[in-house]
Chain A
């Protein structure tokens, strides 16, 4: 394109800007999820009984397995980040595919969990299965549950897409020196998705369970 002018003189300058852009974007993401977690802060106190009844109905088994799967996925992706520094193309691709695969496992388990919950009528509304004096709080919990896991799942999909893009561009860029920056940036994003889950897991499965 005629007017596509890069504002940078050096590749290093461009890379630094890209990394700081990603950090700033993640700050923005924290505020996005922060607004969501305000709901927990308020309702888990004002509607403690119903909220906790909701927590008790989540599947601790699937949630725990998923936590292990997602943390492993992040750990595997750090191998790709490391491999980019040493210039090991094959290893970037392998680690990337591994991380993306574990991410897919997470999403499949999550969909199965959703499926079970729909069967048990845990989606808020007229057919909601938890009844009693506290069912309002339980429905508030499940509204939060479905919105937060959907939003997290959406971030997972984006992350998996980005990782596959990294694998693809590494495969196609034979001959040239590997730029570590795209791998780093996707790594930052993938760790953030992980971090959100680390907060979501106790909130959805543990706190208020007993």
Chain B
């Protein structure tokens, strides 16, 4: 009955022309444009990963030359970090949800939002152009002087692309911060904000304040590469370490860009599927802010063996230990929320629980690397590779999938097939562990990262890792298929299929272009399930038997 009317009004169907999509300023449509773009990049980066794991099945290297291998892992790193992980949750789920969660009609600067997507697409095209015209072998970190004087690769287009994508990030961060300050619905106080918004706020602060440092660093790098002389040039007495300082001043906070939004998603999902107020709401909220703040002060731990002074290293080591405290607060609070909750194990919750486990392993192994003595042994080995994949893939990608499944009904108006969702979540967890746990052992035993070949003694663990990667690939391909199926054939979603409390669940699925037919008024804290249950009971009593 009302379904077709809602469908007509929904943002998806109101105007179906290609032009209306490409010129849209609707945050929900821009979120979908972003989603399509980063899916393409995720597949591209995934192909790089697949080739790497195939190569490493044999100790002598199975398929690629040494040089091609170097270019392949560089492509994997650059595409995954800059064109998938950094934008991932903020530009897709964040773009879609920030105004809905605030009870607003759109982000503060709708046109800027569209511009940021175009910048991102141009950035992606530049990077892809560079990679397909030969690629480069610098790794995703572009360390000088390799990237300036010695490389044979296509540094300029790739660096220009990463530079542009930075502006896209800054625009998104700016939009989120101003929206959260200015566009909260009536009654939506700061401590009533969903924890997702606290997490995205913290992420946006990093976007706005750290990204410009990367931008200027890349300008300096491009200048030096182009003119073959510049401020990091060691032949002039310039200091390549200065590049590393500037690079990590952005790129360590960027690690938190790549995890904080995931933490926000997990807070939402855990609360909903336990039907329970998040344990210690204010601690979880402020832990996001403190992660962003302390995250600016720990970059030196990437350079312990690069020749920094011992005293600096001790300080950076202690600060790195400090940043693990707010992360631990989050983990304990999620577990506290689950304790005694009525837990439902739907696909989003399975992904979220996977996140908690894998993020904890990634976080704890981070402490091994923050300790000066053990870092000397472990740095530049597969231990580091395993550690950050536990955070970025085990953590962020799990959370991305948790969020996609959780908000899929709201975004598309359709349900995904639950059984397949759970299967994919389980495959992701097991495939991921099989891929990356062996890499901890490899690193501990001393296998260095970034080499195309390795001593034969490491083969068993490498084969296990490659086998895990094939399961992981399946876990990524499955959702692509059943999400596509669900768009056409999935069951119609109700407005609030999970019985969640956020404002986004108070409007129709999919929402109308203006988000809410009547501007919402907030009268309860976030996650006030008692109020939700009462409202449900009242609604049931009002409606006579149909």
Q: Which residues of A contact B (CB under 8 A)?
A: 1-7, 13, 16-17, 20-21, 24-25, 27-29, 31-36, 38-39, 42-43, 46-47, 50, 124-125, 136-137, 139-140, 143-144, 147, 151
Contacts and interface: CB of A to CB of B under 8 A. Distances in A.
A27 B237 contact: no
Interface of chain B, helix or strand or loop or mixed?
helix
Nearest to A21: B178
Pick from A3, A6, A29, A39 the residue with the most CB of B within 10 Å: A3
Given A3-B14, A3-B25, A39-B231, A136 B236 contact: yes
B220 A147 contact: yes
Contacts of A13: 182
A24 B107 contact: no
A38 B241 CA distance: 13
Contact of A28 (B99, B209, B219, B245): B209
B268 interface: no
20 contacts: A1-B23, A1-B25, A2-B513, A6-B105, A7-B106, A7-B108, A16-B182, A25-B174, A32-B212, A32-B216, A34-B213, A35-B212, A38-B242, A38-B245, A39-B220, A124-B230, A124-B236, A143-B230, A143-B236, A147-B223
Nearest to A147: B223
Contacts of B174: 21, 24-25, 28
A22 B308 CA distance: 38
A140 B107 CA distance: 44
B533 interface: no
A7 B183 contact: yes
A24 B178 contact: yes
B215 interface: yes
B195 to A, nearest CB: 22
A125 to B, nearest CB: 5
A108 B236 CA distance: 31
A151 B24 contact: no
Contact of A31 (B11, B110, B212, B231): B212
B514 interface: yes
Contacts of A124: 227, 229-230, 236
Contact of A5 (B105, B213, B228): B105
Contacts of A20: 178, 181-182
B523 interface: no
Per CB-CB distance, the 10 closest pairs between chain A and chain B, nearest first, are A32-B212, A136-B237, A35-B216, A136-B236, A3-B26, A31-B212, A7-B106, A35-B213, A124-B229, A17-B182
B31 to A, nearest CB: 13
A5 B229 contact: no
B361 to A, nearest CB: 33
Nearest to A126: B229
B211 interface: yes
Contacts of A25: 170, 174
B210 interface: yes
A61 to B, nearest CB: 26
Most chain B beta-carbon contacts within 10 A, residue among A2, A31, A144, A151: A31
**Most chain B CB inside 10 Å of its own CB: which residue of A16, A39, A151:** A39
Nearest to B20: A2
Given A7-B99, A33-B216, A35-B246, A24 B108 contact: no
A17 B108 contact: yes
A6 B242 contact: no
Interface in B315-339: none
Nearest to A16: B182
B231 A5 contact: no
Nearest to B222: A147
A26 to B, nearest CB: 10
A28 B229 CA distance: 28
Contacts of A50: 237
Most chain B CB inside 10 Å of its own CB: which residue of A5, A20, A25, A47: A5
Contact of B212 (A4, A21, A29): A29
Nearest to B109: A21
Contacts of A21: 108-109, 174, 178
